[in-house]
Structure 1
Amino acid sequence: MKKLLILGFSTLLFLGCGSSSNKKSNSQVNEIENVDPAEYASTITSEELKTMLYKYASDEFEGRNTGEKGQKMAVEYLKEKYQALDIPSPLGGEDYFQEVPLEKQRVSQAKVSVNGKSYESYKDQIVLAASSSINISADEIIFVGYGIDDATYSDYKNIDVTDKIVLAKAGEPKDSLGNYITSGKTENTKWTNGRQAISSKREAAKANGAKALLYLDSESFPRYAPYYQRQAASGATGRLSLKSDTDKLLMLMIDENLAHALYPKITENSAPMFLNVNVNLDVENQSESIVSENVVAYIKGSEKPDEIIIISAHLDHEGIKNGEIYNGADDDGSGTVAILEIAEAFKKAEKDGHGPKRTMLFLHVTGEEKGLLGSKHYADNDPIFPLEDTVADLNIDMIGRTDPKRKVGTRNYIYLIGSDKLSSELHTISEEANSKYVNMELDYKFNDDNDPNRFYYRSDHYNFAKNNIPVIFYFNGTHDDYHQPSDTADKIEYDLLETRTRFVFYTAWEVANRAERIVVDKASE
């Protein structure tokens, strides 16, 4: 069902949003005659938000860990809410659940031999990624230097590694001035920055067709090996991944002892070359398939039903750790109940004959805490509505508290991230909806491209933004209870939750009812 994104919006007129409530704006943001959306926003109340959140973030739901009992209870709760509101599912009938197939990883172990000599698990090598049990033998491997494949520098240039075992080492070459070659700067890049470097080099090997990557990282191995050994001994499960993303590339991290057996000059040389060495990799993979669920409900557009506005939030949290329940009231119970209130407001408008012109999809995604899995599945594998027809995603993740580190400005604020990154119009609509209806302080502190927190990449909107779908991420910032058992419903500031939820509703109302679809004027390639 995956569709190609079509960026054919450049011919649309850019028409600014109006701020006067007495006449239409040039963009005709609100084309529904004689309708004041404040009437419907007033159904969003702190009392209803509080009642729902005390239930949703209660111990009964056991922290809503992806794939576990509490998360299953959470999705049933959401389904019942939509049924009570008489808001249907786009899947039809009683089915409000988009299944998300996942794989729960356990630590795999490998038997490795080089020229007949064996190298032990956890002492000489550990398995970082394996999709299945597998045995690979080869009389030749390819050394690919640092394993970098970048527009400015590539170790894979003019080398065919298809279906080969490749050997790479940590690090990145620098120029004579001490700058990294890929960036021309001294700051670490994705090729040198810890876990990101491991991921980047794995993706480079996979993209070039390698079937296995042996990776020398002398700094990380002494830290990784004991951790992996403890995990294996305890039988603990590792990360969750989308089944469709299960890594088809076998990747082992190795120590210098094994690396030098493969290539004695690996630390001195970086030039790619073929190595005549007999290698056998025998990997035992242990994993468990599980299914989680996104919850979906929708209100069909009255005039432009094929144009979709998504309101999203993640339904999961951290579950139970060391006997303590991580309730996740702010993260992201606050976003979850906000969507329910927004849906109720749009439903009341529809019953009054003022339903949104464009279709509203209320999307509660699973597995955000495990790597944005539910939204990734929707965007990459199974978009219920074609991505090219998706106008915008308004994503709500933590809007019930305040940031204790925010020392300047009023209490009545919200952090906005991403509103101007793909569509100037969406940003303008958001600004004017705020001025017209709620007058909050809009803080763009974390919208900076150089924000070290990288929040733009850390919530579910990103899986839409990467497909050139305009987004806004609504966020109150972190606090001392972030990802702690103490993130409980009694600490939510319900007046702020009400105001912020109404702001999202007003923005969605304007986007849904304007004459023309918003223009994507900053699309990335």
Structure 2
Amino acid sequence: LILSCGTSSKGKTTSAQNETKVVDPADYASTITTEELKEMLYTYASDEFEGRETGEKGQKLAVEYLKEQYKAMGVDTPLGDDDYFQEVPLEKQSVSEAKISVNGKSFKSFEDHIVLRASENISVSPEEIVFVGYGIDADNYSDYKNIDVKGKIVLAKSGEPKDANGNYLTSGSDEDTKWTNGRQSLSSKRDAAINNGAIGLIYMDDNLFTRYAPYYQRQATAGTSGRLSLKSSDADFFMLMVSENLGKALHSEILEDETSKAIGSKLELSIQNKSEEIISENVVAYIKGSEKPEEIVVISAHLDHEGIKNGEVYNGADDDGSGTIAILEIAEAFKAAEKAGNGPKRSILFLHVTGEEKGLLGSRHYTDNDPIFPLENTVADLNIDMIGRTDPKRTEGDRNYIYLIGSDKLSTDLHNISEEVNAKYCNVELDYTYNDENDPNRFYYRSDHYNFAKNNIPVIFYFNGTHADYHKPTDTADKIEYDLLENRTKLVFHTAWEVANRPDRIVVDKIQEQ
């Protein structure tokens, strides 16, 4: 099969002194080659880089490699002074343990409570608790609506309420939302507590607790962790997960009650924080727009992987060496256009984020803590995570495919551009199998585009699906299908070219609560 993405076709035009010049982006897409992709990926996913574990030696080698590639291409950094690194402050936490008593009765670590977050040593005695029902704060339903929790400890329970028809009050649908259950519910309710000024959240989820507590206990006994989180500006906020037993001790009617209120139980609590500060880096490079430099098109991929486990290097050639190297080739194509006097009208930010495997940490730091360019000026994020292989579960359709996730969620313009550019230049089979927020795999929430989408910035997530080598030491460069990698990389380039060069900024016409 000969793939044809990048075949010459007319592109944008420029005029000067009555002369019209046709700019064909396929000329620059032709700089994206199988040979260069292969050469760089064999280096980037080699044992020398030690699996690119966040904060470790291999990750430091990876960011230096990316920096040198951009310098060699002559692609600038938006940070100035030859600084391609956006520092990402992280904490590596060992398992903290709490001492808890309620109304004079003591409860034991790992039997009734675990510490999910403790940014500082904490001691409260005694403290009244505010019950906030399910702990939800959404546009059309909020447990915080009629109660002030500033400076208070809040108690919330898992799940979310339904109406008489069995639909969730937050959405009007019977499909699970980010508030319903699981890890996303946990983080959403944490953020709601922080945003409403609480100093701590005690979260009762008996199902999650029975899964988490044995793991936390093993980690505590071994004295190990490796669990990384963003160093928080909310240094005095803590979070506990508790069993139903402890939840009922705090509020005897917690299972039945949905009304937010102060409760009379007295809590005595002390937590000793155990953490080590780690600095990691996002790599940032950019090409300044020629006409609308303040408008930013982001092309992202994560630079990290799983490191070394049991003496084996997890090379991460597909995850996400493929996306990382694809961005380098896309940058080279845009730089070639700029050198020819045809640089993009809007600025392009090439964003390689760290800590994706640890919970989308690098992209969350960029969007939530330190956006180099204002989010309101960010036109779109094209995120590339695993585009070098094929999905063995996909038994029908063209080998020359890509899963697209999120293209139609926020912007009809972006989705239409994606379809039209593909038809014009690439003819890849665009597969929308996983383009569903309620897909049980939850891929929409599992890569770095999500941190842009939650801020209502249009996204496309390019993804080939998982395979037998996913998160295994066998994800190596020799298994990449380089003709597919080239074609998919060109597709992203052409899409970025159109978004960056069209006369009008794409419109966000589907603002959503993420």
Q: Same fold (TM over 0.5)?
A: yes
Measured after TM superposition, the shift of residue 328 of structure 1 is 0.6
Q: Which residue number corresponds to residue 220 of structure 1?
A: 208
2:286 is aligned with 1:298: yes
Q: Which residue number corresponds to residue 376 of structure 2?
A: 388
2:273 is aligned with 1:288: no
After superposition, what is the alpha-carbon deviation per residue over 1:254-307, rounded to whole angstroms, capped at 9, x for unaligned? 334434443445455555444333321011011111111111112222333222
Distance 1:48 1:392 in 2: 27
Question: What letter corresponds to residue 91 of structure 2 in structure 1?
Answer: E
SS at match of 1:341: helix
Paired positions, count: 502
Q: Is the 8 A contact 2:410 2:511 kept in 1?
A: yes
2:425 is aligned with 1:426: no
Q: Which residue number corresponds to residue 275 of structure 1?
A: 263
Distance 1:36 1:475 in 2: 27
1:12-23 alignment runs, 5 A limit: 21=9
Matched-pair identity in %: 73
Distance 1:335 1:142 in 2: 46
Distance 2:260 2:32 in 1: 62
> Against the structure 1 CA distance between its residues 260 and 32, is the aligned structure 2 distance closer, same or farther, given a 3 Å change threshold?
farther
Distance 1:512 1:191 in 2: 35
Distance 1:468 1:183 in 2: 17
Q: Is the 8 A contact 1:20 1:436 kept in 2?
A: no
> Against the structure 1 CA distance between its residues 328 and 186, is the aligned structure 2 distance closer, same or farther, given a 3 Å change threshold?
same
Question: What letter corresponds to residue 400 of structure 2 in structure 1?
Answer: N
Distance 1:481 1:391 in 2: 34
After superposition, what is the alpha-carbon deviation per residue over 1:149-204, rounded to whole angstroms, capped at 9, x for unaligned? 45555444433333223333344455566665555665555444233333343334
Distance 2:175 2:296 in 1: 40
Q: Which residue number corresponds to residue 342 of structure 1?
A: 330
Q: Is the 8 A contact 1:357 1:512 kept in 2?
A: yes
| Among candidates 502, 507, 510, match of residue 514 of structure 1 | 502
Question: What letter corresponds to residue 409 of structure 1 in structure 2?
Answer: G
Q: Which residue number corresponds to residue 408 of structure 1?
A: 396
Query: Mean Cα displacement is larger for which, 175-184 or 329-338?
Result: 175-184
After superposition, what is the alpha-carbon deviation per residue over 1:54-84, rounded to whole angstroms, capped at 9, x for unaligned? 1000111111111111000000001111111
> Against the structure 1 CA distance between its residues 371 and 24, is the aligned structure 2 distance closer, same or farther, given a 3 Å change threshold?
closer
Query: Mean Cα displacement is larger for which, 196-205 or 362-371?
Result: 196-205
Question: What letter corresponds to residue 458 of structure 2 in structure 1?
Answer: P
Distance 1:428 1:415 in 2: 16
Taking only aligned residues, the RMSD between alpha carbons, in angstroms, comes to: 2.7
Distance 1:275 1:388 in 2: 41
SS at match of 1:279: strand
| Among candidates 9, 26, 31, match of residue 43 of structure 1 | 31
Q: Is the 8 A contact 2:437 2:445 kept in 1?
A: no
Question: What letter corresponds to residue 333 of structure 2 in structure 1?
Answer: A
Distance 1:32 1:505 in 2: 24
> Against the structure 1 CA distance between its residues 461 and 156, is the aligned structure 2 distance closer, same or farther, given a 3 Å change threshold?
closer
Distance 1:285 1:196 in 2: 24
| Among candidates 79, 83, 95, match of residue 67 of structure 2 | 79
Q: Is the 8 A contact 2:10 2:24 kept in 1?
A: no
| Among candidates 210, 220, 227, match of residue 232 of structure 1 | 220
1:411-490 alignment runs, 5 A limit: 411-490=399-478
> Against the structure 1 CA distance between its residues 431 and 262, is the aligned structure 2 distance closer, same or farther, given a 3 Å change threshold?
closer
Question: What letter corresponds to residue 302 of structure 1 in structure 2?
Answer: S
Q: Which residue number corresponds to residue 159 of structure 1?
A: 147
Measured after TM superposition, the shift of residue 143 of structure 1 is 3.4
Distance 2:443 2:44 in 1: 25
Question: What letter corresponds to residue 452 of structure 1 in structure 2?
Answer: P
After superposition, what is the alpha-carbon deviation per residue over 1:23-46, rounded to whole angstroms, capped at 9, x for unaligned? 979xxxxx9823322222121111
2:97 is aligned with 1:109: yes
Distance 1:342 1:415 in 2: 19
1:5-154 alignment runs, 5 A limit: 21=9, 33-138=21-126, 140-151=128-139, 153-154=141-142
TM-score, scaled to structure 1 = 0.88
> Against the structure 1 CA distance between its residues 300 and 144, is the aligned structure 2 distance closer, same or farther, given a 3 Å change threshold?
closer
1:174-189 alignment runs, 5 A limit: 182=170, 188-189=176-177
Question: What letter corresponds to residue 207 of structure 2 in structure 1?
Answer: E
Query: Mean Cα displacement is larger for which, 119-128 or 249-258?
Result: 249-258
> Against the structure 1 CA distance between its residues 181 and 414, is the aligned structure 2 distance closer, same or farther, given a 3 Å change threshold?
closer
Q: Which residue number corresponds to residue 365 of structure 2?
A: 377
SS at match of 2:341: coil
After superposition, what is the alpha-carbon deviation per residue over 1:467-521, rounded to whole angstroms, capped at 9, x for unaligned? 3322222111111111111111010000111111111112222222223333333
Q: Which residue number corresponds to residue 493 of structure 2?
A: 505
TM-score, scaled to structure 2 = 0.89
Q: Is the 8 A contact 1:129 1:247 kept in 2?
A: no
> Against the structure 1 CA distance between its residues 176 and 422, is the aligned structure 2 distance closer, same or farther, given a 3 Å change threshold?
closer
> Against the structure 1 CA distance between its residues 490 and 185, is the aligned structure 2 distance closer, same or farther, given a 3 Å change threshold?
same
After superposition, what is the alpha-carbon deviation per residue over 1:369-401, rounded to whole angstroms, capped at 9, x for unaligned? 112221222222222222232222221111100
After superposition, what is the alpha-carbon deviation per residue over 1:121-144, rounded to whole angstroms, capped at 9, x for unaligned? 223322122221010112533334
Measured after TM superposition, the shift of residue 360 of structure 1 is 1.9
Q: Is the 8 A contact 1:52 1:337 kept in 2?
A: yes
SS at match of 1:376: helix
Q: Is the 8 A contact 2:297 2:500 kept in 1?
A: yes
Distance 2:326 2:20 in 1: 24
Question: What letter corresponds to residue 523 of structure 1 in structure 2?
Answer: I
Distance 1:176 1:392 in 2: 39
Q: Which residue number corresponds to residue 347 of structure 2?
A: 359
Q: Is the 8 A contact 2:94 2:275 kept in 1?
A: yes
